[in-house]
Amino acid sequence: MAQVLEFKLPDLGEGLTEAEIVRWLVQVGDVVAVDQPVVEVETAKAMVEVPCPYGGVVTARFGEEGAELPVGAPLLTVAVGEGAEGHRPAADPGTDGGAARAGEQPGAGERRSEGSGNVLVGYGTSEAPARRRRVRPQGRASGAAAGSGTAGSGTAGAGSSGAGVPGRANGRVRAAEPVDGPVPVISPLVRRLARENDLDLRELTGSGPDGLILRADVEYALRAAAAQGGRAVREAGPHPDGTVREQALAATAGAAATGSAGVAGSAVPPGDVRIPLKGVRGAVADKLARSRREIPDATCWVDADATELMRARAAMNAASGPKISLVALLARICTAALARFPELNSTVDTQAREIVRFDHVHLGFAAQTDRGLVVPVVRDAQARDAEALTSEFARLTEAARAGRLTPGELTGGTFTLNNYGVFGVDGSTPIVNHPEAAMLGVGRIVPKPWVHEGELAVRQVVQLSLTFDHRVCDGGTAGGFLRYVADCVEQPAVLLRTL
């Protein structure tokens, strides 16, 4: 007899707590093999194809494309073993019926299956987890039935079903009364959003698995409350059937049409567009805001004559072998400068009130992609020569543009190189990539008048800027670092002293 197993969203590593479904790679009824990718998800750091550790027939999918799921939420169910073909569902898997049938498998707790061994971070597949039948709380059904009566009967129905169960009154979904005990939230982003908006999470009923409160639940509740002129948030408590979402959106549209005043963001004037801060864009926004809040940064800059550096690169590329990129030469200069000024290759441990200096250089570099700004990291850049750096920069850049960077390739940097000259600008005051201590910015290299050997000449000039955390060093150290970088740009032979 076939056994229906539930595959949950695994821990994707690096402290990620949720992911957005970008594209389903399988349909209900498809036959999948062990370790076959079944869904493409986007985290705050990268796009990831998630493999399924079971082989069989897909019987249900949980979540539409664009939906956000927390780690541990069901992704899909798979019928494995003999007779799996008989588990092809006839109804839409997105309906409650499909989900219910997927949960009604016999003997799920009595049989075990070997896992694939294809393990994501924090997720083992040595044993197939037992699938337990979901039992719909009686209070939820009674609360829904009470909604068809009067307000008094709706309240009574909800109250009789026990605390913590949502009910309906006058056609509106009413969240459960606050109860003691842990709040069903696992995402720190959800907690922060609620805290910043003075929202009591105990007043909400989550639409996630087992009542888990998702970020969308908090956003819907805040939107509905603002659009209705500050009406109690508990009247906008999310419900799995989507009723509250429709009410919140309708209320927002009504407020915009009537021009009602209220909390900023409650109404969108005609022609304006609201774009959710999520995925890579949301992660970048959070990180930049945190950097501005926590790091007392300062910036210094200098113009440098890059003519000799460009000639040195041309000479390297004229010889046989791989071509050397300009960013690789700049990276090599950075690692040499950090060896002389290690204060800038560090981070601040605010809890311990200590500065942590690193004995390695994990060099991040800013890369603009269609999905937004990302900062891939070149591991142990101080141990790589110009050819190795060129190769690694090319590999990471291609992976970034294709959305294939792993979380490990986007974290752990100790210093960042930002070549904004590719955008045709001369200077900038970059924001430090938290929790690092410094970032070197490089502008475009253009012909400019320059005094060279006592005479005015046209030279290739570049502007260099260094933004640094003033907690790790004083201006003298930062100025010495930047001056050394400029000297290496103007006279690449300076590097020969440390190679």
Residuewise pLDDT in 10s, the chain (499 residues): 678 899 988 877 655 678 888 889 999 999 999 889 999 888 766 777 888 988 999 999 998 888 888 888 899 999 887 766 655 554 444 444 444 444 444 444 444 444 444 445 434 444 444 444 444 444 444 443 434 343 333 333 433 344 444 443 333 344 444 445 566 765 666 777 887 888 888 788 888 777 778 878 888 888 777 766 544 444 444 444 444 444 444 444 444 444 434 445 556 788 899 888 877 778 788 888 999 999 999 999 999 999 999 999 999 999 888 999 999 999 999 999 999 999 999 999 999 999 999 999 999 998 888 777 789 999 999 999 999 999 999 999 999 888 888 878 988 999 999 999 888 999 888 899 999 999 999 999 999 999 999 999 999 999 999 999 999 999 999 999 999 999 999 999 888 776 6
Tokens coding 326: 């300009």
Q: Where do the H-state alpha helices sit in 31-125?
A: 96-103
Catalytic-role residue among 239, 360, 452, 470: 470
Buried b (16+ CB within 10 A) or exposed e, 364-380: bbbbeeeeebbbbbbee
Residue 229 has what pLDDT?
Answer: 56
Q: What is the CA radius of gyration of the chain?
A: 28
Q: Looking at beta carbons, which pairs linking 259-266 to residues 24 or more positions away fall under 8 Å?
A: 260/229, 262/226, 262/227, 262/229, 262/230, 263/226, 263/230, 265/226, 266/223, 266/226, 266/227
Find all residues with CB under 8 Å of 396, minimum gap 6, and list them. Answer: 365, 367, 376, 377, 378, 405, 409
Helix count (H) and strand count (E) of the chain? 11, 21
- Catalytic status, residue 470: yes
Find all residues with CB under 8 Å of 459, minimum gap 6, and list them. Answer: 305, 307, 447, 448, 449, 450, 452
Residue 294 has what pLDDT?
Answer: 94
Helix (H, G, I), strand (E, B) or coil at 133: coil
Which amino acid is it at 442? V
The pair phi, psi for residue 304, each rounded to 5°, is -135, 150
